[in-house]
Structure 1
Amino acid sequence: MPQFAANLSMLYPEHAFIDRFAAAAADGFSAVEFLFPYALPAADLAAQLQAHGLRQVLFNAPPGDWEAGERGMACLPGREAEFRDGIQRALDYAQTLACPRIHVMAGIVPTDQDRDKLLPRYEANLAWAAEQAAAAGVDVLIEPINSRDMPGYFLSRQDQAHAIVQAVGAANLKVQMDLYHCQIMEGDLAMQLRRHLPTGRVGHIQIAGVPERHEPDQGEINYPYLFALLDTLGYTGHVGCEYRPRRGAVAGGTSAGLGWLPR
């Protein structure tokens, strides 16, 4: 059975963020991930990991102005200096948190730009980020995100992501395969896993129910079948639980919804 990581940006919303580490550990998680750590000092987060016996397995590099709608800078012309500063900041956090991978968001394609013309800048930024991360022993991940939740996002399909990873050619540049996004855009999840996992280019997997993005025990994806398939394919990484609990911020709502989680 795969190893599961609690996504603390989505799970346990009834708690302040700093208190979600304890909640995840109490529910039996041994690993966590989240979107952005930068509102808190890295040392404070590291203390929570140590206090509760948790491993940090993933977080995102700075995405630009999130509140203004930015979703990454890697494909955006003229943002190279800010992108590089963000990667260095992410790597500093990764060292303190002993986190082996960071997700680098591509960005929303500007309405006056052509995606294909942005591809060389995107690949060049990823190559630079991967080189910096390799020196720190960290993997850089890119994630296809569905166009319903994030219209205009640069990367939306698995084959696009794998082609970019191959083109850049850095051993530590990999694909973050979110089965929620993949189901919405492409489906055929079992065949997608059979195709891509053996390449060694999948660095992390995430899950959520489709279409509501709640617990993975309802909806159109047969997750028990896919978990067994991950074992068959020899996947030894973590599976990130990046979903919104049905009961929202109700006290104990996340814990009550964990009946699907294999123990």
Structure 2
Amino acid sequence: MPRFSAHLGYLFKERPLIDRIDAAAAAGFTAIEGRFPDGVSAADYKRAVDRNNLKVLGINTPQGGDTEFGLGALPGRQDEWRAGFAQTLDYVETVGGLAIHCLAGKAAPEQRREAEAVFVENLKRAADEAAARDIKLYIEPICGRGIPGYFLVELEHAADIVAKVGSDNVFIQYDLFHMQIVGGDLIERFKKYQPLIAHVQCSQVPVRHEPNEDGEINYPYVFAELDRLGYAHWIGCEYIPSTPRTEDSFGWLRRYGVVPRN
């Protein structure tokens, strides 16, 4: 049976971040993930995680400016990337997290060749630093509908980046929303790149609501196939609830054993 984690950048947003951790546990989740928790100290985050007996799967590197979505592939921003990555690495280690999602950022078409070289070099150094602390790195292809201009869009490109980095500590985060929009063929492409995939995320297409059966993706089938293929990692619930109260969007989770704690 698949295991689901709560993405705190999407779920429980009607609450402050620390309260989202408590709410995720109360709803029956045993793992969380999310964006870099600006404004919340690692000590406070860890206390909330520990009192709820939760796993921290992954945290994103900082997004950068208000209109940016990461710095990992941005030429001329290497010093900012290194500082942000070091901050994230310390934070993830303190809270007992397992991985860091390295946001590539947006790159203009004429910058793409240089951006790739920058991203590869940044990941090479980061992979060694993270491995020394037993923390994995993820990169994620993100469709233009989600983040217009994002550098890393295609799954095949992500696999090529991993190969160029040449580290056994860099993996792909396979978001089914983005994969459906860019290429589809979700199961066959998953099978092809399964050795590189360390995390999966889910939301329905086209509206990015909960992964029920009201959209393009037949999620009961997809989850069953991931199980059949031996996928042993977590699936992150990275969706926008269709209900004002996040908990009211969890009906689909009940069949997978995610039920509120008593």
2:200 paired residue number: 205
Question: For the Cα contact (< 8 Å) 2:36–2:88, is it kept in 1?
Answer: no
Which of 79, 82, 85 does residue 81 from structure 1 map onto?
Answer: 79
Does structure 1 residue 109 correspond to structure 2 residue 107?
yes
Report the secondary structure of 2:235's partner residue: strand
Structure 1 position 116, deviation (Å): 2.0
**C-alpha separation in 2, matches of 1:142 and 1:13:** 24
2:133 paired residue number: 136
Could you report, residue by residue, the CA deviation over 1:159-200 in whole angstroms, capped at 9, with x for unpaired residues? 000111011110111111100011011111111111111xx2
Structure 1 residues 240-255: aligned runs within 5 Å: 240-247=236-243, 250=244, 253-255=245-247
Structure 1 position 240, deviation (Å): 0.3
Report the secondary structure of 2:148's partner residue: coil
Give the AA of the match of 2:252: W
Which of 55, 70, 84 does residue 72 from structure 1 map onto?
Answer: 70
Report the secondary structure of 2:5's partner residue: strand
Report the count of equivalent residues.
254
Structure 1 position 226, deviation (Å): 1.0
1:169 paired residue number: 166
Structure 1 position 149, deviation (Å): 1.8
- Identity among equivalent positions (%) equals 43
**C-alpha separation in 1, matches of 2:128 and 2:237:** 29
**C-alpha separation in 2, matches of 1:108 and 1:24:** 31
1:258 paired residue number: 250
Give the AA of the match of 1:219: G
1:90 paired residue number: 88
**C-alpha separation in 1, matches of 2:3 and 2:133:** 24
Give the AA of the match of 2:24: A
Structure 1 position 245, deviation (Å): 0.3
Does structure 1 residue 232 correspond to structure 2 residue 228?
yes
**C-alpha separation in 1, matches of 2:14 and 2:77:** 36
Structure 1 position 118, deviation (Å): 2.1
Give the AA of the match of 2:16: A
Question: For the Cα contact (< 8 Å) 2:75–2:114, is it kept in 1?
Answer: no
Q: Give me the TM-score of the superposition, normalised by structure 2.
A: 0.94
Give the AA of the match of 1:105: L
**C-alpha separation in 1, matches of 2:119 and 2:69:** 14
Q: Give me the TM-score of the superposition, normalised by structure 1.
A: 0.94
* Unaligned segments of structure 2, at least 5 residues: 258-262
Does structure 1 residue 214 correspond to structure 2 residue 226?
no
Could you report, residue by residue, the CA deviation over 1:187-234 in whole angstroms, capped at 9, with x for unpaired residues? 11111111111xx21121100011000010021101111111111111
**C-alpha separation in 2, matches of 1:117 and 1:58:** 28
Question: For the Cα contact (< 8 Å) 2:35–2:62, is it kept in 1?
Answer: no
**C-alpha separation in 2, matches of 1:140 and 1:105:** 10
Give the AA of the match of 1:180: F
Report the secondary structure of 2:201's partner residue: strand
Structure 1 position 53, deviation (Å): 1.3
**C-alpha separation in 2, matches of 1:4 and 1:222:** 17
Could you report, residue by residue, the CA deviation over 1:224-262 in whole angstroms, capped at 9, with x for unpaired residues? 111111111111111000000001xx3xx2211111111
Give the AA of the match of 2:193: H
Structure 1 position 114, deviation (Å): 3.0
Does structure 1 residue 47 correspond to structure 2 residue 44?
no
